[in-house]
Amino acid sequence: MNVGYQTESDLQKQEKFTVLADKTNNSTKYVVWHIEGGLGKNVAATALVKDVRERYKDRKLIMVVSYPEVFLNNPDIYRVYRVGMTSYFYDDYINGKDTIVFRHEPYFQSDHIMRKKHLIENWCDLLDIKYNNQTPQIYPNVVQKMVMNGWQRERPVMVIHTNGGPYNNELSYAWTRDMPYEIALKIADKYRSQYHIIQVARPSAPLIPNVEHVTQQLSNYELFSVLAVSEKRVLIDSSLQHAAAAMGLPSTVLWIGTSPTNFGYKFHKNVIAKSPTGSSKMIDSYIFDFSFDGIVHECPYNTFEEMFDINTIFKNI
């Protein structure tokens, strides 16, 4: 008779029973970073993926984002979900799990509103990460890299990004961020003999004559690939200036109702619109001066010459 002794088989059975009885027995730890907003904002967030992974190195990083494509293939990310498409997420990562969740809006931080810090630095504060002037990092796969060569042309390419924001935006011109048509036309006229010019714009935007137009809806990397073959880039505060930073492509970026302090990169040549003259009432402004959407009655300029000195733009190009 065996007293006070269990066979190996008995121990294995007891161990299996314990695991089955405790369904929350899971040693895996997670950190969830939730990001909403436009494509450019999502590209900017890629700057901190590696830092989040290092800061919370004992946890697997889960991204819940508006534009999953820019986070795919990143070696520091465990899973990527699109906002609103998170089936079984609660059971998999929240219920009974050891998980840290970051769901903040950096746009509403005081230092962002007061234009004291960059979007990425505000995220650093929220994520408990040191800010080191990080820039976006994207990881195209082999097929996406092949697509990037599809925009080669006989002459050197110049990209002029005139209109940004959501593809389905019906506005032909949002004054706070879009490039004024008159400015774009002058740039094209000056450089068309030297470059094959590609204009990137929304379908509703005014088109520059006698240049190639990209107005059709593209995947994120198809859109970014227009930059990959370009020799010169004249951009606006939209997704392509973030993508250019990620791809190491210094560009000329025009700023009107938004600020490079919040959204730009010193890597680029940032041309800021002249301060408006006269009385600007800004009746509908709350904690930000102007809306991203470019509400018409908020525009404080009477002419496009009041906005930019075209020779300053030429000098920076």
DSSP readout, 34-62? EE-S-HHHHHHHGGGHHHHHHHTTTSEEE
Residues 123, 232, single domain; the answer is: no
Residues 121, 146, single domain; the answer is: no
Closest by CA position to 257, among listed 277, 241, 235, 272: 272
Q: CA-CA distance, 32 to 30, in Å (whole number)? A: 6
Residue at which a domain ends, from 92, 127, 162 = 127
% of residues, the chain, pLDDT over 90: 74
What CATH number is attached to the domain comprising 312?
Answer: 3.40.50
Residues 179, 286, single domain; the answer is: yes
175 or 15: which leads in pLDDT:
175
Residues near 57 by beta carbon (within 8 Å), at least 6 away in sequence: none
Residues 193, 248, single domain; the answer is: yes
Closest by CA position to 159, among listed 277, 79, 239, 78: 239
pLDDT value of residue 279: 60
Domain that holds residue 122: 29-127
Residues 216, 149, single domain; the answer is: yes
Residues 271, 205, single domain; the answer is: yes
Instruction: Please state whether the predicted TM-score (pTM) of the whole model is above 0.95.
Output: no
**Average pLDDT, whole number, for the chain?**
89
> Does an H or E element contain 201, and which?
none
Residues 302, 267, single domain; the answer is: yes
Tally of structural domains, the chain: 2
Q: Which two tokens stand for residue 248?
A: 């190491």
Residues 120, 149, single domain; the answer is: no
Residues 214, 163, single domain; the answer is: yes
Q: What angle do CA 139, 142, 147 make, to 5 degrees?
A: 95
Give the number of other Cβ atoms within 10 Å of residue 314's Cβ.
Answer: 13
> Are 86 and 80 within 8 A, CB to CB?
no
pLDDT for residue 280 is more than 70: no
Task: Report, as an integer, the average pLDDT of 98-123.
Answer: 96
Residues 76, 179, single domain; the answer is: no
Residues 176, 49, single domain; the answer is: no
Residues 155, 106, single domain; the answer is: no
Domain presence at residue 223: yes
Confidence of residue 148 (pLDDT cuts 50, 70, 90): confident
> Are 250 and 232 within 8 A, CB to CB?
no
